Copies of this chain bind each other. A is one copy, B any other.
Amino acid sequence: MSRWISQEAERLAPYTPGEQPQDQQYVKLNTNESPFPPSPKVLKAINRAEILKLNLYSDPTCAALTEAIARRYELKAKNVLAGNGSDEVLAFAFRAFCGAGQPVAFADVTYGFYKSQAALFDLDVKIIPLREDFTLHVDDYMDFPGTIVIANPNAPTGIAVPRNDIQRLLEANPDRVVIVDEAYVDFGAESCVPMIYRYDNLLVTQTMSKSRSLAGGRVGYALGSPELIADLNRVKYSFHPYNVNRLSIAAGAAAVADEAYFAACTAAIRQTRAWTVGELENLGFTVLPSQANFVFARHSQLPGETLYRKLKENGVLVRWFDADRIRDYIRITIGSMEQMETLVEELTAILEEL
């Protein structure tokens, strides 16, 4: 850090993203991307005419995108805020609904970025440990007076919380905001979106990075009551009014409108996940019950770090977290069937060496 850095920036806890080698030499199963290209409708949407208009600012309200999202989720555009990935949307939410006298609670084992964002806004954080089996019990949050953030399904465990449990949280205290981060919801968990009209203290965030094959397009969004969305806009217009670029607006609107492609991709991932879990269990892995596009698995004979290293040496990238409680695990993205077959082959070879 330089000698000019502010005290506030010194205290930050920057996030370390998964490795992003740009040369495509790996079977890349480390950052939960989709193995499928974006919808053909996205290819059509990013056309010559759109590119020629890049000299003009994007629509700060992202109307084409928020309207397309609203249509898909049977909401109104005023229930939607679009962002440069859901990371940005989450940052807006942390600023909008947390601060002095409004602490934030999240799990000990969850998306690592929450800690970074809490540090960015210097928030009081209450860490509420998952149970022994990595499940989240909403009872552990009932008495917490501040804002609650729950990744559902959770990362990196993949374990989902039933919608009814979130509903109990919402009802227990309407004076606090519950943020449900549904980045991975499209692979089998129950979305809280149908409860948005009923609970004005519910904010759901989603992303097009996983189920809609747009990680590189950076399109995320928040869904909630118009009051919550207006607060998020207040932050957005203090940070970056033109936060979503023209091509991402076009790509996101096209992607969210292609229901058939979305259904086919998510079904394929679920099927491949079931196959992968079976194979991993045959190899002696313990696999947490995942509703996401990844699985979290450990092997009694090899520590997570060794698995990660040996797989990497053999051309397969998975994610290993050097963190308490999960050091034994590796997180494996569910890619294409072919990629998972390679993974299983490599794991088989690694275990045979033992």
Contact = CB atoms under 8 A, between A and B. Distances in A.
A228 to B, nearest CB: 6
As for how many copies of this chain the complex holds, the number is 2
Nearest to A44: B51
A96 B231 contact: no
Interface residues of A, number: 94
Interface in A86-122: 87-88, 91, 95-102, 116-117, 119-121
A234 interface: yes
A344 to B, nearest CB: 22
Contact of A213 (B28, B55, B248): B55
Contacts of A214: 54-55
A156 interface: no
A99 B57 contact: no
A176 interface: yes
Nearest to A244: B218
A139 to B, nearest CB: 22
B96 A238 contact: no
Contact of A239 (B17, B31, B117, B241): B117
A42 B51 CA distance: 8
28 contacts: A1-B231, A2-B227, A2-B228, A5-B97, A6-B97, A8-B99, A8-B121, A9-B96, A9-B231, A14-B233, A14-B238, A17-B237, A17-B242, A20-B58, A20-B60, A28-B56, A33-B55, A33-B57, A37-B53, A38-B52, A46-B247, A55-B214, A55-B216, A58-B216, A84-B240, A85-B242, A116-B239, A120-B238
